[in-house]
Amino acid sequence: MTSTTAPRSDKLHSLAAYRAALREFLESDPVLDEWRGRHYPTVAGELAHHSQLVQLLYSGGWNRYGWPETAGGLGGDERHRAVLYDELSAHGLPVPGQHLVMETLGPPTVRFAPELARTLFPGFLGGTEWWGQGFSEPEAGSDLASLRCRATREGDEYVVDGHKLWTSYGATARRLVCLVRTGSTESRHRGLSMLLIDTDTPGLEARPIALASGREELAEVFFNSVRVPAGRLIGEHDQGWAVAMYLLQFERGMYAWLTSTVLLQRLESLRDQLRERGIRRDGAAARLGNVYLDIVALRARSARTVARLAAGETIGPEASTDKILLATAEQALYDAARDLLGPLLDVGTGADLDTWRDEWWYSRAATILGGSAEVQRGIIADRVLKLP
Protein backbone atom coordinates (compact mmCIF):
# COMPACT_ATOMS: atom_id res chain seq x y z
CA MET A 1 0.00 0.00 0.00
CA THR A 2 1.25 3.48 -0.82
CA SER A 3 0.61 6.46 1.43
CA THR A 4 -1.88 7.91 -1.05
CA THR A 5 -4.06 4.98 -2.07
CA ALA A 6 -6.48 2.98 0.02
CA PRO A 7 -6.22 -0.73 -0.85
CA ARG A 8 -9.37 -2.14 -2.36
CA SER A 9 -9.61 -4.92 0.13
CA ASP A 10 -12.10 -6.56 2.42
CA LYS A 11 -9.61 -5.78 5.16
CA LEU A 12 -10.66 -2.14 5.10
CA HIS A 13 -14.25 -3.16 5.73
CA SER A 14 -12.89 -3.50 9.25
CA LEU A 15 -13.32 -0.06 10.80
CA ALA A 16 -10.09 -0.35 12.77
CA ALA A 17 -8.08 -1.22 9.66
CA TYR A 18 -9.74 1.55 7.65
CA ARG A 19 -9.05 4.12 10.37
CA ALA A 20 -5.41 3.06 10.70
CA ALA A 21 -4.80 3.22 6.95
CA LEU A 22 -6.59 6.55 6.65
CA ARG A 23 -4.55 8.05 9.48
CA GLU A 24 -1.34 6.93 7.81
CA PHE A 25 -2.38 8.73 4.64
CA LEU A 26 -3.52 11.92 6.40
CA GLU A 27 -0.32 12.11 8.44
CA SER A 28 2.11 11.40 5.62
CA ASP A 29 0.95 13.19 2.48
CA PRO A 30 2.28 16.78 2.37
CA VAL A 31 -0.14 17.68 -0.45
CA LEU A 32 -2.90 17.89 2.15
CA ASP A 33 -1.32 20.97 3.72
CA GLU A 34 -2.90 22.95 0.90
CA TRP A 35 -6.29 22.64 2.61
CA ARG A 36 -5.22 23.29 6.20
CA GLY A 37 -5.97 26.64 7.81
CA ARG A 38 -7.55 28.18 4.72
CA HIS A 39 -10.15 30.94 4.70
CA TYR A 40 -12.34 31.34 1.65
CA PRO A 41 -13.90 34.77 1.03
CA THR A 42 -16.57 33.21 -1.20
CA VAL A 43 -18.56 30.01 -1.06
CA ALA A 44 -17.92 29.40 -4.76
CA GLY A 45 -14.17 29.54 -4.16
CA GLU A 46 -14.45 27.26 -1.15
CA LEU A 47 -16.45 24.63 -3.00
CA ALA A 48 -14.13 24.76 -6.00
CA HIS A 49 -11.07 24.20 -3.80
CA HIS A 50 -12.83 21.56 -1.70
CA SER A 51 -13.79 19.73 -4.88
CA GLN A 52 -10.08 19.15 -5.48
CA LEU A 53 -9.81 17.58 -2.02
CA VAL A 54 -12.82 15.38 -2.77
CA GLN A 55 -11.16 14.27 -6.01
CA LEU A 56 -7.96 13.45 -4.12
CA LEU A 57 -9.87 11.41 -1.55
CA TYR A 58 -11.81 9.66 -4.30
CA SER A 59 -8.75 8.82 -6.40
CA GLY A 60 -7.17 7.21 -3.35
CA GLY A 61 -10.40 5.38 -2.52
CA TRP A 62 -10.71 6.97 0.91
CA ASN A 63 -14.16 8.53 0.55
CA ARG A 64 -15.50 5.61 -1.47
CA TYR A 65 -15.76 3.34 1.58
CA GLY A 66 -19.21 3.59 3.12
CA TRP A 67 -20.94 3.75 -0.27
CA PRO A 68 -22.09 0.75 -2.36
CA GLU A 69 -20.09 -0.31 -5.41
CA THR A 70 -23.20 0.22 -7.55
CA ALA A 71 -22.88 3.97 -6.84
CA GLY A 72 -19.13 4.28 -7.27
CA GLY A 73 -18.19 3.24 -3.76
CA LEU A 74 -16.12 0.39 -2.34
CA GLY A 75 -18.62 -1.06 0.13
CA GLY A 76 -18.77 -0.71 3.87
CA ASP A 77 -21.43 1.31 5.68
CA GLU A 78 -22.21 4.62 7.36
CA ARG A 79 -19.58 4.01 10.04
CA HIS A 80 -16.83 4.24 7.42
CA ARG A 81 -18.08 7.68 6.44
CA ALA A 82 -18.20 8.68 10.11
CA VAL A 83 -14.58 7.60 10.52
CA LEU A 84 -13.58 9.64 7.45
CA TYR A 85 -15.10 12.84 8.88
CA ASP A 86 -13.64 12.14 12.31
CA GLU A 87 -10.13 11.73 10.95
CA LEU A 88 -10.27 14.65 8.52
CA SER A 89 -11.23 17.01 11.33
CA ALA A 90 -8.75 15.49 13.79
CA HIS A 91 -5.96 16.12 11.27
CA GLY A 92 -6.86 19.76 10.74
CA LEU A 93 -8.49 19.26 7.37
CA PRO A 94 -11.91 20.55 6.32
CA VAL A 95 -14.78 18.20 5.75
CA PRO A 96 -15.56 19.25 2.16
CA GLY A 97 -18.81 21.14 1.81
CA GLN A 98 -19.86 18.67 -0.86
CA HIS A 99 -20.00 15.92 1.74
CA LEU A 100 -22.42 17.88 3.91
CA VAL A 101 -25.01 17.75 1.14
CA MET A 102 -23.93 14.29 -0.01
CA GLU A 103 -24.90 12.84 3.36
CA THR A 104 -28.44 14.12 2.87
CA LEU A 105 -28.97 13.45 -0.84
CA GLY A 106 -26.82 10.38 -1.45
CA PRO A 107 -28.68 7.72 0.58
CA PRO A 108 -32.16 8.34 -0.92
CA THR A 109 -30.70 8.41 -4.44
CA VAL A 110 -28.96 5.07 -3.84
CA ARG A 111 -32.10 3.48 -2.41
CA PHE A 112 -34.90 4.96 -4.52
CA ALA A 113 -33.15 5.69 -7.84
CA PRO A 114 -30.47 3.00 -8.36
CA GLU A 115 -29.98 3.85 -12.04
CA LEU A 116 -29.36 7.52 -11.23
CA ALA A 117 -27.02 6.41 -8.46
CA ARG A 118 -25.11 4.24 -10.92
CA THR A 119 -24.78 6.85 -13.65
CA LEU A 120 -24.66 10.21 -11.85
CA PHE A 121 -23.72 9.73 -8.21
CA PRO A 122 -20.06 8.80 -8.98
CA GLY A 123 -19.57 12.34 -10.30
CA PHE A 124 -20.82 13.73 -6.98
CA LEU A 125 -18.77 11.29 -4.94
CA GLY A 126 -15.73 11.93 -7.12
CA GLY A 127 -15.85 15.71 -6.71
CA THR A 128 -16.31 16.64 -10.36
CA GLU A 129 -19.74 18.05 -9.53
CA TRP A 130 -21.92 18.71 -6.53
CA TRP A 131 -25.65 18.81 -5.92
CA GLY A 132 -27.98 21.08 -3.99
CA GLN A 133 -31.15 20.49 -1.99
CA GLY A 134 -34.30 22.32 -3.09
CA PHE A 135 -37.04 21.78 -0.52
CA SER A 136 -38.06 25.03 1.17
CA GLU A 137 -40.28 27.65 -0.44
CA PRO A 138 -41.38 31.15 0.61
CA GLU A 139 -44.49 29.74 2.31
CA ALA A 140 -43.27 26.19 2.95
CA GLY A 141 -40.32 25.83 5.29
CA SER A 142 -40.93 23.67 8.31
CA ASP A 143 -44.30 22.67 6.80
CA LEU A 144 -43.05 21.06 3.58
CA ALA A 145 -46.40 19.40 2.97
CA SER A 146 -47.73 22.81 1.92
CA LEU A 147 -45.18 23.42 -0.86
CA ARG A 148 -46.49 24.66 -4.21
CA CYS A 149 -43.68 24.26 -6.76
CA ARG A 150 -45.47 22.07 -9.29
CA ALA A 151 -44.33 19.35 -11.68
CA THR A 152 -46.82 18.26 -14.34
CA ARG A 153 -46.27 15.00 -16.20
CA GLU A 154 -46.27 15.41 -19.99
CA GLY A 155 -45.33 12.19 -21.77
CA ASP A 156 -41.76 11.27 -20.85
CA GLU A 157 -41.10 14.56 -19.09
CA TYR A 158 -42.12 16.60 -16.09
CA VAL A 159 -42.68 20.33 -16.56
CA VAL A 160 -41.71 22.22 -13.42
CA ASP A 161 -43.01 25.66 -12.50
CA GLY A 162 -42.53 27.46 -9.23
CA HIS A 163 -40.07 28.89 -6.78
CA LYS A 164 -37.63 27.48 -4.21
CA LEU A 165 -35.97 29.40 -1.39
CA TRP A 166 -32.94 28.70 0.85
CA THR A 167 -31.64 26.14 -1.65
CA SER A 168 -28.32 24.80 -0.38
CA TYR A 169 -25.46 25.51 -2.81
CA GLY A 170 -28.13 26.40 -5.35
CA ALA A 171 -25.97 29.00 -7.11
CA THR A 172 -23.09 26.61 -7.83
CA ALA A 173 -24.60 23.11 -7.84
CA ARG A 174 -24.62 21.03 -11.02
CA ARG A 175 -27.93 19.39 -10.06
CA LEU A 176 -30.72 19.98 -7.56
CA VAL A 177 -32.77 17.37 -5.72
CA CYS A 178 -36.18 19.04 -5.52
CA LEU A 179 -39.36 18.11 -3.73
CA VAL A 180 -42.23 19.16 -6.00
CA ARG A 181 -46.01 18.94 -6.02
CA THR A 182 -47.45 16.45 -8.47
CA GLY A 183 -50.86 16.09 -6.81
CA SER A 184 -53.46 18.61 -5.69
CA THR A 185 -52.71 21.21 -3.05
CA GLU A 186 -55.21 19.48 -0.77
CA SER A 187 -53.32 16.19 -1.08
CA ARG A 188 -50.56 17.67 1.09
CA HIS A 189 -47.75 15.13 1.60
CA ARG A 190 -49.56 12.47 -0.45
CA GLY A 191 -49.11 14.49 -3.64
CA LEU A 192 -45.36 15.16 -3.65
CA SER A 193 -42.57 13.74 -5.81
CA MET A 194 -38.76 14.03 -5.80
CA LEU A 195 -36.86 15.06 -8.94
CA LEU A 196 -33.18 15.44 -9.80
CA ILE A 197 -32.92 18.56 -11.98
CA ASP A 198 -29.87 19.82 -13.88
CA THR A 199 -29.25 23.48 -13.15
CA ASP A 200 -28.37 24.28 -16.79
CA THR A 201 -31.85 23.25 -17.95
CA PRO A 202 -33.59 26.07 -19.88
CA GLY A 203 -36.06 27.96 -17.71
CA LEU A 204 -34.15 27.45 -14.43
CA GLU A 205 -32.66 30.53 -12.79
CA ALA A 206 -30.70 30.54 -9.53
CA ARG A 207 -30.10 33.79 -7.64
CA PRO A 208 -27.56 33.67 -4.79
CA ILE A 209 -28.73 34.82 -1.36
CA ALA A 210 -26.13 36.76 0.63
CA LEU A 211 -26.26 35.93 4.33
CA ALA A 212 -25.42 38.43 7.08
CA SER A 213 -21.76 37.44 6.70
CA GLY A 214 -21.90 38.28 3.00
CA ARG A 215 -21.37 34.66 2.01
CA GLU A 216 -23.73 33.12 -0.52
CA GLU A 217 -24.38 29.69 0.97
CA LEU A 218 -27.95 29.53 -0.32
CA ALA A 219 -29.93 30.54 -3.36
CA GLU A 220 -33.39 31.38 -4.59
CA VAL A 221 -34.34 29.20 -7.56
CA PHE A 222 -37.05 29.90 -10.13
CA PHE A 223 -38.55 27.32 -12.48
CA ASN A 224 -40.30 28.51 -15.63
CA SER A 225 -41.56 25.52 -17.64
CA VAL A 226 -38.41 23.55 -16.83
CA ARG A 227 -38.53 20.21 -18.63
CA VAL A 228 -37.11 17.27 -16.70
CA PRO A 229 -36.88 13.70 -18.04
CA ALA A 230 -39.22 11.36 -16.17
CA GLY A 231 -36.20 9.13 -15.57
CA ARG A 232 -34.95 11.74 -13.09
CA LEU A 233 -37.70 10.77 -10.65
CA ILE A 234 -36.34 9.60 -7.29
CA GLY A 235 -38.82 7.07 -5.94
CA GLU A 236 -42.36 6.79 -7.28
CA HIS A 237 -44.74 9.43 -8.60
CA ASP A 238 -46.61 11.07 -5.69
CA GLN A 239 -44.40 9.17 -3.23
CA GLY A 240 -41.81 11.87 -2.61
CA TRP A 241 -42.80 12.21 1.03
CA ALA A 242 -41.53 8.69 1.74
CA VAL A 243 -38.22 9.64 0.09
CA ALA A 244 -38.04 12.83 2.15
CA MET A 245 -38.69 10.94 5.39
CA TYR A 246 -35.98 8.43 4.51
CA LEU A 247 -33.63 11.30 3.70
CA LEU A 248 -34.39 13.03 6.99
CA GLN A 249 -32.80 10.36 9.16
CA PHE A 250 -29.47 10.88 7.37
CA GLU A 251 -29.80 14.66 7.51
CA ARG A 252 -30.29 14.32 11.26
CA GLY A 253 -27.87 11.48 12.06
CA MET A 254 -24.97 11.62 9.63
CA TYR A 255 -24.95 15.41 9.39
CA ALA A 256 -24.92 15.65 13.19
CA TRP A 257 -21.91 13.36 13.46
CA LEU A 258 -20.09 15.12 10.64
CA THR A 259 -20.64 18.52 12.26
CA SER A 260 -19.63 17.24 15.69
CA THR A 261 -16.20 16.35 14.31
CA VAL A 262 -15.82 19.89 12.92
CA LEU A 263 -16.98 21.47 16.19
CA LEU A 264 -14.46 19.46 18.18
CA GLN A 265 -11.64 20.63 15.92
CA ARG A 266 -12.83 24.24 16.08
CA LEU A 267 -12.99 24.09 19.89
CA GLU A 268 -9.36 23.01 19.94
CA SER A 269 -8.50 25.82 17.53
CA LEU A 270 -10.25 28.36 19.76
CA ARG A 271 -8.32 27.19 22.79
CA ASP A 272 -5.04 27.45 20.88
CA GLN A 273 -5.85 30.94 19.59
CA LEU A 274 -6.66 32.21 23.06
CA ARG A 275 -3.35 30.83 24.31
CA GLU A 276 -1.33 32.19 21.38
CA ARG A 277 -2.87 35.66 21.67
CA GLY A 278 -2.43 35.73 25.42
CA ILE A 279 -6.14 36.25 25.99
CA ARG A 280 -7.20 35.48 29.56
CA ARG A 281 -10.76 36.01 30.63
CA ASP A 282 -12.52 35.11 33.85
CA GLY A 283 -14.42 31.88 33.50
CA ALA A 284 -12.86 30.99 30.14
CA ALA A 285 -11.86 27.46 31.20
CA ALA A 286 -15.37 26.71 32.48
CA ARG A 287 -16.89 28.17 29.32
CA LEU A 288 -14.74 25.99 27.08
CA GLY A 289 -15.44 22.99 29.30
CA ASN A 290 -19.20 23.47 28.99
CA VAL A 291 -18.90 23.71 25.22
CA TYR A 292 -16.91 20.48 25.23
CA LEU A 293 -19.66 18.77 27.21
CA ASP A 294 -22.25 19.96 24.68
CA ILE A 295 -20.18 18.50 21.83
CA VAL A 296 -19.59 15.22 23.68
CA ALA A 297 -23.33 14.89 24.33
CA LEU A 298 -23.97 15.43 20.62
CA ARG A 299 -21.33 12.87 19.64
CA ALA A 300 -22.63 10.28 22.09
CA ARG A 301 -26.12 10.62 20.68
CA SER A 302 -25.16 10.79 16.99
CA ALA A 303 -22.72 7.87 17.33
CA ARG A 304 -25.68 5.73 18.39
CA THR A 305 -27.73 7.03 15.47
CA VAL A 306 -24.93 6.28 12.98
CA ALA A 307 -24.62 2.74 14.38
CA ARG A 308 -28.36 2.22 13.94
CA LEU A 309 -28.23 3.48 10.35
CA ALA A 310 -25.34 1.13 9.63
CA ALA A 311 -27.42 -1.73 11.02
CA GLY A 312 -30.24 -0.88 8.61
CA GLU A 313 -32.60 0.41 11.28
CA THR A 314 -35.11 3.16 10.56
CA ILE A 315 -34.59 6.29 12.63
CA GLY A 316 -37.92 7.85 13.48
CA PRO A 317 -38.98 11.04 15.27
CA GLU A 318 -36.30 10.49 17.92
CA ALA A 319 -33.84 11.91 15.37
CA SER A 320 -35.15 15.33 16.40
CA THR A 321 -33.05 14.90 19.52
CA ASP A 322 -29.91 14.81 17.37
CA LYS A 323 -31.01 18.03 15.67
CA ILE A 324 -31.56 19.86 18.96
CA LEU A 325 -28.23 18.72 20.39
CA LEU A 326 -26.49 19.77 17.19
CA ALA A 327 -27.91 23.30 17.26
CA THR A 328 -27.13 23.62 20.98
CA ALA A 329 -23.49 22.60 20.57
CA GLU A 330 -22.97 24.70 17.45
CA GLN A 331 -24.29 27.92 18.94
CA ALA A 332 -22.55 27.28 22.26
CA LEU A 333 -19.17 27.03 20.53
CA TYR A 334 -19.51 30.10 18.34
CA ASP A 335 -21.04 32.21 21.11
CA ALA A 336 -18.06 31.26 23.27
CA ALA A 337 -15.71 32.27 20.46
CA ARG A 338 -17.38 35.66 20.17
CA ASP A 339 -17.32 36.32 23.90
CA LEU A 340 -13.77 35.08 24.50
CA LEU A 341 -12.16 36.62 21.42
CA GLY A 342 -14.05 39.82 22.19
CA PRO A 343 -13.56 42.78 19.86
CA LEU A 344 -11.11 40.77 17.77
CA LEU A 345 -13.98 38.78 16.33
CA ASP A 346 -15.79 41.98 15.37
CA VAL A 347 -12.97 44.08 13.92
CA GLY A 348 -9.80 41.97 13.92
CA THR A 349 -8.02 41.11 10.68
CA GLY A 350 -6.56 37.85 9.46
CA ALA A 351 -7.78 34.63 7.89
CA ASP A 352 -8.45 32.97 11.25
CA LEU A 353 -10.65 35.81 12.51
CA ASP A 354 -12.42 36.09 9.17
CA THR A 355 -13.30 32.40 9.48
CA TRP A 356 -14.59 32.79 13.03
CA ARG A 357 -16.79 35.71 11.95
CA ASP A 358 -18.27 33.80 9.04
CA GLU A 359 -18.92 30.77 11.22
CA TRP A 360 -20.52 32.81 14.00
CA TRP A 361 -22.94 34.43 11.56
CA TYR A 362 -23.84 31.08 10.02
CA SER A 363 -24.42 29.50 13.45
CA ARG A 364 -27.31 31.92 14.03
CA ALA A 365 -29.40 29.76 11.72
CA ALA A 366 -28.59 26.50 13.53
CA THR A 367 -31.89 26.53 15.43
CA ILE A 368 -33.88 27.30 12.26
CA LEU A 369 -32.49 25.54 9.18
CA GLY A 370 -33.50 21.95 8.61
CA GLY A 371 -36.45 22.34 10.97
CA SER A 372 -36.67 24.89 13.79
CA ALA A 373 -35.83 23.96 17.37
CA GLU A 374 -39.43 24.68 18.38
CA VAL A 375 -40.75 22.24 15.79
CA GLN A 376 -38.22 19.60 16.89
CA ARG A 377 -39.25 19.92 20.52
CA GLY A 378 -42.88 19.59 19.47
CA ILE A 379 -42.09 16.38 17.59
CA ILE A 380 -40.31 14.94 20.62
CA ALA A 381 -43.17 15.91 22.93
CA ASP A 382 -45.90 14.54 20.68
CA ARG A 383 -44.35 11.52 18.97
CA VAL A 384 -41.58 10.36 21.31
CA LEU A 385 -42.73 11.26 24.82
CA LYS A 386 -46.45 11.01 23.91
CA LEU A 387 -47.26 14.03 26.04
CA PRO A 388 -50.91 15.19 26.13
Active site residues: 251
276 CB neighbour count, 10 Å cutoff = 9
Q: Computed from CA positions of residues 158, 161, 166, 168, in that sequence, does the dihedral angle turn out positive or negative?
A: positive
Q: What b/e string do you get for 96-134 counting C-beta neighbours within 10 Å, with b at 16 or more?
A: bbbbbbbbbbbbbbbebbeebbbebbbebbbbebbbbbb
* 7 contacts 21 by C-beta, under 8 angstroms: yes
223 secondary structure, DSSP code = E
Instruction: Quote the CA–CA distance of 362 and 355 in Å, as a whole number.
Output: 11
Distance of CA 121 to the CA centre of its chain: 16
383 secondary structure, DSSP code = I
Instruction: Quote the CA–CA distance of 249 and 256 in Å, as a whole number.
Output: 10
Give the 3-state secondary structure of residue 182.
coil
